[in-house]
Amino acid sequence: MLSWQFICRWRCQLGTTATVVTFILAALGSRSMAFVGDSMMYQTAVGFECAALREAGGWAIEKHTEKRREKKRWRYGIGNVEEWEFKRGDQARNISFYSIYRFNETLVDIDEALASSEVVVANFGIHWMDSMEYREAISSLLAHLLPHASTHTIVWKESYSQHHDNEGGEYKSAGNKVKTKNCVDVVYGDRFSHMWRDVIVRDVALGLGFDIVWLNETSNGAEKPERPLYWLPALEM
């Protein structure tokens, strides 16, 4: 996992994506980092790639893609694994993306990502439209991740209104004029405010015993928490 000193520096570095990309590549050392999630998370991974191509300062980048399943079976498990290998002299860094729309109940797909990388940046949400079902799924995921908080750097990346231009990035309801077969209504259940999925994630994480560390705030000399879940706000890297 990344050192607490590195995390404290990361929290002070947030600015342009390119600045943070360069900083992360320098600090990863022999560690690897995985982005895990659906197409919303893929936008973050590709944004990281684009910033690295512009600003990575002498790093050569090779990209590899492994297709895991047929398109008709897209909903559960790992669809594709994309890997970016950064090389500069005798240095090497590995950044990967695991395409997972909904994780399996056994969480074997999450275990694969954990086995491959010490730093895991995750987001899931737009393929759960019912708030109670989402709470149940996230409870299972975070309970599974909790023991790894002492060995990995686990980051939750907020989603935002993009990709399908709706709250949280999900498809609009059928009443909105969007030409897609996937238009369904969002079922909120208990009324949640802005960014309702992230509200659920924070609530579940705190209930399980995670310590939420906001990466857009300076550390102010704080000690490293015992079970950190690093929180990356929308539009930050």
| Both structure tokens of 66 | 């492994």
Q: For residues 76 and 167, which has the higher predicted lDDT (pLDDT)? A: 76
Query: Domain range for residue 219?
Result: 4-232
Q: What is the CATH number of the domain that holds 14?
A: 3.40.50
Computed over every residue of the chain, the mean pLDDT equals 79
73 has a pLDDT exceeding 60: yes
Cβ atoms within 10 Å of 93's Cβ, excluding its own? 23
Using CA atoms, how far apart are residues 42 and 36, in angstroms rounded to an integer?
A: 8
Which three-class secondary structure string do you get for the chain? Answer: CCCHHHHHHHHHHCCCHHHHHHHHHHHHCCCEEEEEECHHHHHHHHHHHHHHHHHCCCCEEEEEEEECCCHHHCCECEEEEEEEEEEECCEEEEEEEEEECECCCCCHHHHHHHHHCCEEEEECCCCCCEHHHHHHHHHHHHHHHHHHHHCCEEEEECCCCCCCCCHHHCCCCCCCCCCCCCCCCCECCCCCCCCHHHHHHHHHHHHHCCEEEECCCCCCCCCCCCCEEEEECCCCC
Task: Tell me the whole-structure pTM to 2 decimals.
Answer: 0.81
Per-residue pLDDT tens digits for 159-204 = 765 565 555 656 555 444 444 444 445 554 444 455 788 889 999 9
Residue 168: inside a domain: yes
Per-residue pLDDT tens digits for 11-65 = 555 545 556 677 777 778 778 999 999 988 888 888 888 777 777 677 788 889 9
Tally of domains in the chain: 1
Residue 100: inside a domain: yes
Residue 204: inside a domain: yes
Q: For residues 210 and 31, which has the higher predicted lDDT (pLDDT)? A: 210
154 in Cβ contact with 212 (< 8 Å):
no
Residue 237: inside a domain: no
pLDDT band at 221 (very low <50, low <70, confident <90, very high): low
Residue 38: inside a domain: yes
What pLDDT, on the 0 to 100 scale, is given for residue 178?
A: 43
Using CA atoms, how far apart are residues 235 and 229, in angstroms rounded to an integer?
A: 18
